[in-house]
Amino acid sequence: MSGLQKMNLQDTGALRERCADCTIRHRAICTYCSPHELALLDAIKFYKTFEPGQEIVAAGEETDFLGSVVDGVVALSKTLIDGRRQTVGLMFPSDFVGRAKRPVAPYDAVAVTPVRLCLFTRARFERILRQTPALEKRLLEMTLDELDAARDWMLLLGRKTAREKIATFLAILARRAAALENETPSDGPGFELPLTREAVADYLGLTIETVSRQITGLRKAGVIELADARNIRVPNYLALLDAAGDDADGGMID
């Protein structure tokens, strides 16, 4: 947490907006909260922004705060002594970062895009959590969702080919992007890949070269179209799903 903490006032807009108006109000940890409970959270929350690449928490470090992703993407990663790295979770807006009752983080959390978090201090959050079944219920739900996603990812990491890994990941992103705009994954203007090739490789258990080659492969096969390295369109979502090797639609958080 040694980095710059200039709060970037202009693009954050209303730095301290009211919970009731929050974009993630109905998907985040506060989903089931009553107006009264929301007011309690409102009183103790604070926002914090991070630059791309900036570390949010380091593995083994004791964290004194936790909260929700409001904007941006956060990667949770584990590293072996010799530097091999595996990303074990990507956190999108409304996902909850930091674990109740576990003060020390078992992984790094790094901002992969500009990130804005809605945070609580650990002490305050746990006090409210104990008195608020609506929070606890939602926390359990979200944890179960993460567990499901983690297990889907275990199948991907353990058994899928490089091509299938890439296709699966792109299918998830395409579906996500389409869902946010109520479109089908095939027609929209495409979506932005918010990660570098390195971050993708870390997430999929591959190297950057293989990621690059497989993306090129999918492009040459006509399954995806690239405006540039980070902007992808999916002309045929079913073809992409097929390349992903899944039986049905690929599951994941959300």
Which run of H or E residues covers position 164? helix 162-180
CB of 191 or CB of 237, closer to a copy of itself: 237
Q: Could you tell me which stretch among 8-16, 61-69, 115-123, 155-163 binds DNA (CB under 7 A)?
A: 155-163
CB of 107 or CB of 191, closer to a copy of itself: 107
CB of 146 or CB of 202, closer to DNA: 202
Query: Does residue 173 contact residue 191 with C-beta atoms inside 8 Å?
Result: yes
- What does the alpha-carbon distance between residue 178 and residue 169 come to, in Å, rounded to a whole number? 14
Instruction: Reduce the DSSP state of residue 115 to 3 states and report it.
Output: strand
Axis-axis angle for helices 162-180, 197-204 (nearest 10): 110
List 72, 98, 205, 250, residue binding a copy of itself (CB under 8 A): 205
* Strands of the 231-233 sheet, one edge to the other: 191-192, 231-233, 225-228
Q: Does the protein bind a copy of itself through residue 85 (CB under 8 A)?
A: yes
DSSP 8-state code for residue 185: T
CB of 79 or CB of 216, closer to a copy of itself: 79
DSSP 8-state code for residue 144: H
Structure token pair of residue 21:
């108006």
- What does the alpha-carbon distance between residue 215 and residue 193 come to, in Å, rounded to a whole number? 12
Q: Which does 196 bind (CB under 5 to 8 A by kind): a copy of itself, DNA, none?
A: DNA
Neighbours of 175 (CB within 10 A): 21
Q: Which does 150 bind (CB under 5 to 8 A by kind): a copy of itself, DNA, none?
A: a copy of itself
Q: Does the protein bind a copy of itself through residue 204 (CB under 8 A)?
A: yes
List 211, 224, 234, 252, residue binding DNA (CB under 7 A): 211
Size of the site for a copy of itself (CB under 8 A): 43
Site for DNA in 27-66 (CB under 7 A): 53
CB of 93 or CB of 205, closer to a copy of itself: 205
Residues that bind DNA (CB under 7 A): 53, 161-163, 196-198, 205-213, 215-216, 226, 228-230
